Amino acid sequence: MSLVVFLYFAAVAALSIFGLHRFHLLGLYWRVRTRRPQIVAMDEAHLPTVTVQLPIYNERYVATRLVIAIARLNYPRERLRIQVLDDSTDLTRQRLAVLTRRLRALGIPIDHLHRERRHGFKAGALAAGLACDDSELVAIFDADFVPPPGFLRQIVPDFMDPEIGMVQARWSHLNREDSLLTRLQSIFLDGHFFIEHVARHGSGRFFNFNGTAGVWRRSCIEDAGGWSGDTLTEDLDLSYRAQLRGWRFSYRPELTAAAELPIDMNAFKRQQHRWAKGSVQTALKLLPRIMRSPLPWRIKLEALFHLANNLNYLFIAIPCLLWVPTLSRRYDTDEPWMLAMAGAMAATTLCVVGYHMTCQRAAGQSWSGTLRILPALLSLGIGLSLNNGRAVVEALVGHPSAFERTPKYGVTRRAATVKSMAYALRHDWLSWLELSMAAYFGFGLWFAIDSGRFIAIPFLLLFLAGFLYVGLSSLGRQIDQLLTVGSACACLGLLGFVAWISHAFLLARI
């Protein structure tokens, strides 16, 4: 076995381990999915004081919607305080100042806190707000969220247990059906909220606050060391530090807060870059402490897989680069290493398919609809590998970067106008590299057909489609407008058509 094949096999084996971990999470999910904590209704006179923090930075299209939704929260005014933590440098600042004055005149307990210097980014804003407040509980919502009026009344009773330090609600999606991109994003997030959180919470593993749509006990934040801006995922960092201190977290999947998904590929890639880099930064910061702790090994291993999960993108990069060289070699399909590789790839694929099918059924989606879009989902994950792989490398080498927000535009706006609106992001050199990878896999597809390696064709199509979609969508929003969920359905037909053409080509050569 050559070095090329060995590296390819090693990468596939590593991916298989992470794939089997998803299978493990599925097993935990099926075991604990019906468990629900017993929530006791709280007497009106004993409701704790709550501060709702709204960290905002240049969000002119959605900030007003958020503030109005928070002002409608059904919670006693004498026990509620709203902090608009505004670091904006554009028109958002003036608009929020006017809005908060009007709401305050109507009796809403709201303050507009503006910082001249964005020190510590979101974590710094949250810490600054906490420093001028003494409420028992702290709720946090990002600018693109719209919580229901009864959110606080439903979530606050969890804190009757004095060991509960944080309660997380599930995200729902305001614009799930806006485009193929938003539909795929919703499936990725559904897996996190319907499977991972349920499995980890129900089995006693550590899970994390998601940066928004959750409520903290103030004493928990302080006991864990407070907010820190030394990683790009301040929420994940504080979550693990708090649980290492012995605090327990609660998850309420039946309680949702709706949010807007990014409608532009460049915005989505920026968000994914920040999450991937921040999680690896948190892993480097906290994994040594976790492994030295007296925690049970089942919790330590789950923390390892959770925090190191984005290393997957480095392992994906190796098969991406070695696909064509591996195809060019002559080998016998009954060799042990070939059988092992085929088994590993099959196991990984089945785990991923089973994971997403289960989460979509839990989300109320149909089997047939999920199956139709699954090829596009797998392709998008592959197409993001360069973007997220770069984030992982930056974290591993200690390359610093600012906390870059994900621009949102309000779901009532036409997606076609994004490029002419404020906050629109331009593509960078990585988009051209993604298109180069698409061309590389186009050559690999031709080679597989020419050499009769028909078993590789479906995989090559997924890689080709993934890099082509991500690269072209990064260059222009119009590309994503041309693609609908129906185009994902066509992927299956395309696979069959190419396989038929390949078979005819082989017969012609014989």
Helix (H) / strand (E) element for 56: namely: strand 50-56
Residue 87 annotated to the active site: yes
Residue 479: count other Cβ atoms within 10 Å of its Cβ.
Answer: 17
Q: How far is CA 379 from CA 210, 222, 458, in A?
A: 25, 43, 11
Q: Give the tokens for residue 195.
A: 């499977």
The answer for residues whose C-beta is within 8 angstroms of residue 416's C-beta and 6 or more apart is 477, 478, 481
Length of the chain (residues) = 510
d(CA 22, CA 16): 10
Q: Give the tokens for residue 461.
A: 């199509």
Type of residue found at 249: F
- The one catalytic residue among 86, 87, 142, 237: 87
Q: Is the dihedral of CA 111, 112, 117, 118 positive or negative?
A: positive
What's the Rg (C-alpha) of the chain? 24
Q: Give the tokens for residue 349.
A: 């694929």
d(CA 209, CA 138): 13
- The one catalytic residue among 86, 178, 235, 237: 235
Residue 429: count other Cβ atoms within 10 Å of its Cβ.
Answer: 7
d(CA 159, CA 464): 49
Residue 80, strand partner residues: 50
* CA angle at 229 for the pair 404 and 252, rounded to the nearest 5°: 85
Residues recognised as catalytic: 87, 235
